[in-house]
Amino acid sequence: MSGPSALCCPQSARAARNPAAAGPLPRAVPAASRSEMLLPDYSTSLWFSQFCANDPEVFVQAALLAQDYCDAIDLNLGCPQMIAKRGHYGAFLQEEWDLLQRMILLANEKLSVPITCKIRVFPDIDKTVKYAQMLEKAGCQLLTVHGRTKEQKGPLAGVASWEHIQAVRKAVNIPVFANGNIQCLSDVEECIRKTGVHGVMSAEGNLHNPALFEGRNPLVWEMAEEYLEIVRKYPCPLSYVRAHLFKLWHHTLQVYQQLREELAKVKTLEGIVDVNRELKLRCQEEIANQKEGEKPKEGLPFFHWICQPYIRPGPKERCRENGDSGTEKGVRGKRALEEEEDGNSELLSKNKQKKKLRNPNKSFDPSLKPKYAKCDQCGNPKGNKCVFNMCRGCCKKRAFKEVADCPGHGLLFKTKYEKSLSWQHSQRGIQTADINQRGDAQVGETAVLKEAADSTG
């Protein structure tokens, strides 16, 4: 998935609030009936464990560790991010149907819980339908369809195609969930009506308004207070908390830029609580000074202190915001702009400007960046002294599989294995010598006893 997702089903237009409350699904159920297990009474919640993988054996070994703690195992075939491309997983496996079939078939054979998949669509509806049918035939018991292609992300996300989702829903006999264009509860209801799906998932909409599936638009600081109470109960890295609050407070932080900087710098949970308290005071002061009949600014449906969706501007809108003409030269992605950065702070992103403050001599000129040779397996930079011409991660897997050494990465599987064999051999020699020594001692003791008996007689 691209970020956290929540699920809404037709009979229960709300988010699953306590997945652990539902008892586990029955184990060792025949594959033919597993899909029926995934649509029980919606008053209970289900817990899915999602994995990204590209190796059937590794995927199943990992899933076996998780199956006793969840109700289903989900295979992520929808992630479009660059990290998924480098790691060769997510949406970048959607052309490798033979591999996907083997992964799902093996999972169905070995696991006692259902196997589900989350996918992105192809531009062509017919190919998308065949893709879904292939996954169903392989043993997928529930399919979540994100109605965007893997190229639709970031400022190029555009609108998800419910037409693709509807076609898949009609073509398969397993439960289908929809993903994409879900910004509020009315979108959930409209999506279900238009596509006929069994459930709806949301990622970005749910991050900006966690009460989306309850049909509410709470005050941003109240939602933050509830979230921070959960963090106190279930601690997590502060970076996770900060990332969630940047989403939750998105519109308010456009107004109070200083609070954005404070949130970025804060080092403790209590410090974040203080930022939320300050945000609350500023918003309440703004509400108190609000004029009668005043409307939200920047075209927002609600005032910035209310949880609401964030609509990503497309490339043309971004160009207009930045003063570009909107010509082909002006319509450029973030990566293209970064390639033109020559160290001028006016062109640098905020993150790079911070790095420049910490290290004034740092240059972001792409021509000065070192050129790295790529790993033969995944495309990451390879180790200069690697015997397999791979990055450390890929080298470690291969060296372990082949029981080989790679001094360049400090991996000594062969050496350690040989040392282990040598140690075992030496231990056997010591044990044999010890047995022989005890045998000689017993023989000598018997001879002494016999001699003593003879002299006594």
Query: Active-site residues: which are they?
Result: 79
Q: Is 191 exposed, middle or buried (0-12, 13-18, 19+ CB in 10 A)?
A: buried
Q: How many CB atoms lie within 10 A of CB 266?
A: 18
Longest dimension (CA), the chain: 128
Residues 6+ apart with CB under 8 A from 276: 221, 224, 225, 228, 245
| Run of H or E residues at 50 | strand 48-51
Would you say 181 and 147 are in contact if contact means Cβ atoms under 8 Å apart? yes
Q: How far is CA 28 from CA 38, 112, 150, 396, in A?
A: 14, 5, 35, 35
Would you say 109 and 101 are in contact if contact means Cβ atoms under 8 Å apart? no
β-bridge mates for residue 116, sequence order: 74
**Burial per residue of 404-436, b for 16 or more beta-carbon CB atoms within 10 angstroms, e otherwise:** bbbebbebebeeeeeeeeeeeeeeeeeeeeeee
CA 188 – CA 190 distance, rounded (Å): 6
- The alpha carbon torsion through 434, 440, 441, 443 (nearest 10 deg) reads 150
Rounded CA Rg of the chain: 30
Amino acid identity for residue 331 in this structure: V
Q: Which residue has the tokens 């963090």?
A: 231
Amino acid identity for residue 135 in this structure: L
3-state secondary structure of 114: coil
Q: How many CB atoms lie within 10 A of CB 372?
A: 11
Residue 50: phi and psi, rounded to 5, are -105, 140
- The alpha carbon torsion through 286, 289, 295, 296 (nearest 10 deg) reads -10
β-bridge mates for residue 143, sequence order: 117, 176
Q: What are the residue ranges of helices labelled H in 388-412?
A: 392-402
